[in-house]
Structure 1
Amino acid sequence: MIRDLISYGLQRWLRQGLCALALIAGAGSAHATDIYITAEFKPDVNDPDKREFTNTTPWSGVCDSVHLQVCINNNWWSIDTKVRGTKQGVYATNWGPGGFYIGMPTSRKVTVVSDDGSSTFELGVNIIGAAMRITDVEADGPKEPASTGGPNNCSQGLTNQNANNHSVMRMFLRRDGGEGTVSCALHWLRDNNYRIQEFDFTYKLTTPAPLAMRSGVYRGMTSYRVGGTGEGADFDLGDGVVLEDNIVNVHFELTVDHAFQLDLPPGSDRAVLAPKGGWTQWSDHGVAPKYLERDVPFSLSSSGQFEVSLQCQHPLADGRCAIRNVTEPAEEVPLDIQLTLPGFRDSATGVDVVGMPLTTNMVPPVLAADVFIIRRPSKLNFAVNGEAVKSMLDHPGSHYRGDVTVIFDASP
């Protein structure tokens, strides 16, 4: 009886990309501020249908402190632009730029680039609201410069007054969802000078589909100009405005951390090849088997793309691995290796991974799925076929061995 033994190893290489420097800002003015918006995608096996980024930007601006829970409940996310300055208030009741006035820009697309520069994606940014805190600079002056009535074109979100420092914060929320340009205003109640102590905007991100992105960090940047009416600013704060900074560089960082797990049953480091149904037909009746094979089952969990490649102890010119007679001199025997991963496909060809041949000279396929797959039963099939089986039968009692390494690279 021939006993053919092949040992193989399954290895997983998870290479994490190195963080690159943020993209150089397009506006290098000395009158610029820099703010940072971050989001991450980290799949959860307990919630496999979640396919969205989570905003991880630290809270700042009008939503921070007393209004935090209200903003969380309404999915508002504000950020302080660090823009500071002054505004000359002039009594007006026409919702014009002389009042408590904020003009906001249309939505825009921002290109985010992976650390290694190989992948780019589009990030949508919608400014859905803005807020301004102003402080009466005259010690005995009024703290409330703006009317409490409804603003034009917007709804009034949050208001926060502080009697101790004569300041008021008002937040406008757009009714158009941030698609067009819009200006929001309240009437100005009296002539006076005010300090712009804080200027925030509230935003919504339309992120790429994370399942199509490789693990790593993606960065991008866009700039908004802030100024007074007539200055061509993206954010128009009305008449009588003097600012210390007039450019806001917004840096975006998206982190994708895909899940990948390979679970092997005990004893999977050895595959003993045999005919289907055992050796009885050969030993008792002399009927030669057409093939010798063994399936090695395992389970795979993955939310992203990964490569599969092959290494052999005894490689053949055609890319297949060989097993070698370790008992007596004989020709090496080619080994056919096939991979089956239900639910996965070759991202280049769209072909399902069912009986996919693995060779050392193939371009490693990048495999992907449309959903987060969890513990999907899969298998590797090892087989010696046809004439190679007959050549082995010419050496009864021999042992054939060879090491095979199948590499799953979760960061292709």
Structure 2
Amino acid sequence: MKPMNTMRQAALSLALLGGTEVAMASEVTITAEFRPSSTNTRFTNTTPIGGFCNFWPNMPQCSVDNHSIELGINYIKKSFRLAPDILDRLYVSLPRAVDFQVRSTASSETHALNFAITNFSAYADGSAPGIPSPAFTTQVFGGCSYITAFGGTASARILWRVNAPSHPTPCHSTSDWGAVGGEVNSTITEFSIGYALTTPNPLAMRAGIYEGQIQFSVGSNGQPGDIGLGNGVSGSPPSTVTLNFVLDVRHALEVHFPANSDKVILEPPGGWMRWLNGGPAPEKLVRDLPFRITNTGPLSIYMECEHPTARSCGIQNTRSSEIAALDVAVSLPGGIQLNNGQAVQRFPIPTGRARPLHVDAVTPVFNQPGALHFATAAGEAAEMVKNPGDTYRGNVTVVFDALL
């Protein structure tokens, strides 16, 4: 049976060979980015399309979630029709799926990824009298299966499926007809792969650039390699293929407070009338300050104090310089939680950048309500009202930091 598409395709391949073959290296960069929206909680692959998806852009193997890259492996392959040793046929072995890590360029933060090869493609140019190209066939064996081919008996571009990407076995094909043992020399170019990249949850990653690397060795003519080309190989294919990964994470963080909310006036719950009418001293003075927050990633919150106390910020008596301690807490929408998965409801805000409150974005939060809660610490209000008419002031700066 012949390939589905048998249109003849002509190509010119030049192999320049010196007296000594020099081992080279190939590098390819794979990029992905996270740009949050109300409907997007995942990475988008931004790698420029390479390899077979340039030729077959409408194939299912080239959809939004599937990509191809060319690996820069070019060589000449001598193959023999129906050779008993599959290494002497048109042959390729591919590496198993790889777990690896990317690291933030700004910190030691790391995250795990998985890279798996799902498809193989190449352009093979070459045939012999009475024997077509070993690529021009639907008979694909081993760990791959035929998807399509384009070309004719002398040359063909192939696309094979890798049947078990996690643990692939070698793939091989042979010419459809001709004498058993018939020799064909094929120039192999456009060696490309389709791949699946399993990325981490970007909501759990701090904003920034993350980089990682995988290196595969290339083996042939009896030399082992993560990528194997079989026997009868010449033309100086690279000795290694390095995949560089760059992940760009940009989070949305906006905190909007009402107008004139830079001044927080503390009062007893329910107001001052009870105390002014001879009631007991208030237990505390309080004020809640609402805000609306948009956030899509890990977040750190802390305070900086004009008048620090032993464990928090304080406000100072403008007459006597005495300081009353404050309790300052925060409440956040349900999509933002503590590291242990609990809701952030009236959770105390620590002072100082060195020990912030760390919270995580479980789901993207867009313009949802939160609040800061200010209150005098236990016992402070009773002391403050002993001096009616005195004023207490102090600056408290609450920092929401997406990078810390």
Shorter-chain TM-score bucket reads 0.7 to 0.9
1:204 aligned onto 2:196: yes
Give the superposition deviation at 1:121. Answer: 2.3
> Which region of structure 1 is more displaced relative to structure 2, 242-251 or 229-238?
229-238
Give the direction of change, closer, same or farther, for the CA distance of 1:37–1:386 in structure 2 (3 Å limit): closer
Of 147, 152, 159, which aligns to 2:141? 152
1:297 aligned onto 2:290: yes
- Residue of structure 1 equivalent to 2:243: 250
- Residue of structure 2 equivalent to 1:329: 320
Of 220, 228, 232, which aligns to 1:240? 232
Give the superposition deviation at 1:86. Answer: 0.8
1:105 partner SS: coil
- Residue of structure 1 equivalent to 2:92: 102
Amino acid at match of 1:101: Y
The count of aligned residue pairs is 373
- Residue of structure 2 equivalent to 1:384: 376
1:172 aligned onto 2:160: yes
Which deviations, in whole Å up to 9, do the C-alpha atoms of 1:157-193 show, x marking residues without a partner? 2423389xx64211111222x0113122221355332
1:390 partner SS: helix
* Cα separation, 2, equivalents of 1:74 and 1:281: 66
Amino acid at match of 1:266: A
Which deviations, in whole Å up to 9, do the C-alpha atoms of 1:177-214 show, x marking residues without a partner? x0113122221355332222221121111222222222
Give the direction of change, closer, same or farther, for the CA distance of 1:308–1:255 in structure 2 (3 Å limit): same
Map 1:2-401 to 2 at 5 A. 31-45=24-38, 47=39, 50-64=40-54, 66-70=55-59, 71-73=61-63, 75-92=65-82, 96-136=86-126, 144-153=133-142, 154-161=144-151, 167-176=155-164, 178-188=165-175, 189=177, 191-228=183-220, 230-242=222-234, 243-316=236-309, 318-326=310-318, 328-329=319-320, 331-343=322-334, 344-347=336-339, 351-360=342-351, 363-401=355-393
2:141 partner SS: coil
Give the direction of change, closer, same or farther, for the CA distance of 1:258–1:63 in structure 2 (3 Å limit): same
- C-alpha contact 1:42 1:257 (8 A) present in aligned 2: yes
- Residue of structure 2 equivalent to 1:19: none
* Cα separation, 1, equivalents of 2:76 and 2:102: 35
* Cα separation, 2, equivalents of 1:282 and 1:260: 42
Which deviations, in whole Å up to 9, do the C-alpha atoms of 1:242-276 show, x marking residues without a partner? 23312111111122222222122222211111122
Give the direction of change, closer, same or farther, for the CA distance of 1:76–1:353 in structure 2 (3 Å limit): closer
Which deviations, in whole Å up to 9, do the C-alpha atoms of 1:64-106 show, x marking residues without a partner? 1x31122333843111111111112333376933333222221
* Cα separation, 1, equivalents of 2:31 and 2:246: 5
- C-alpha contact 2:337 2:362 (8 A) present in aligned 1: no
Amino acid at match of 1:187: T
* Cα separation, 1, equivalents of 2:273 and 2:321: 24
* Cα separation, 2, equivalents of 1:300 and 1:208: 24
* Cα separation, 1, equivalents of 2:349 and 2:64: 51
- C-alpha contact 1:147 1:186 (8 A) present in aligned 2: no
> Which region of structure 1 is more displaced relative to structure 2, 356-365 or 81-90?
356-365
Give the direction of change, closer, same or farther, for the CA distance of 1:74–1:281 in structure 2 (3 Å limit): closer
1:391 partner SS: helix
* Cα separation, 2, equivalents of 1:345 and 1:97: 56
- C-alpha contact 1:83 1:246 (8 A) present in aligned 2: no
* Cα separation, 2, equivalents of 1:91 and 1:30: 28
Amino acid at match of 1:332: I
- C-alpha contact 1:223 1:249 (8 A) present in aligned 2: yes
Amino acid at match of 2:119: G
* Cα separation, 1, equivalents of 2:373 and 2:274: 22
- C-alpha contact 2:106 2:208 (8 A) present in aligned 1: no
Which deviations, in whole Å up to 9, do the C-alpha atoms of 1:267-292 show, x marking residues without a partner? 22111111222222122345432221
* Cα separation, 2, equivalents of 1:272 and 1:130: 68
Give the direction of change, closer, same or farther, for the CA distance of 1:144–1:379 in structure 2 (3 Å limit): same
Whose relative contact order is higher, 1 or 2, with alpha carbons under 8 Å and at least 6 apart? 1
- C-alpha contact 1:290 1:385 (8 A) present in aligned 2: no
- C-alpha contact 2:91 2:170 (8 A) present in aligned 1: yes
* Cα separation, 1, equivalents of 2:99 and 2:68: 19
Amino acid at match of 2:145: S
Give the direction of change, closer, same or farther, for the CA distance of 1:180–1:272 in structure 2 (3 Å limit): same
Give the direction of change, closer, same or farther, for the CA distance of 1:146–1:231 in structure 2 (3 Å limit): same
Give the superposition deviation at 1:142. Answer: 8.2
> Which region of structure 1 is more displaced relative to structure 2, 258-267 or 281-290?
281-290
Give the direction of change, closer, same or farther, for the CA distance of 1:73–1:252 in structure 2 (3 Å limit): closer
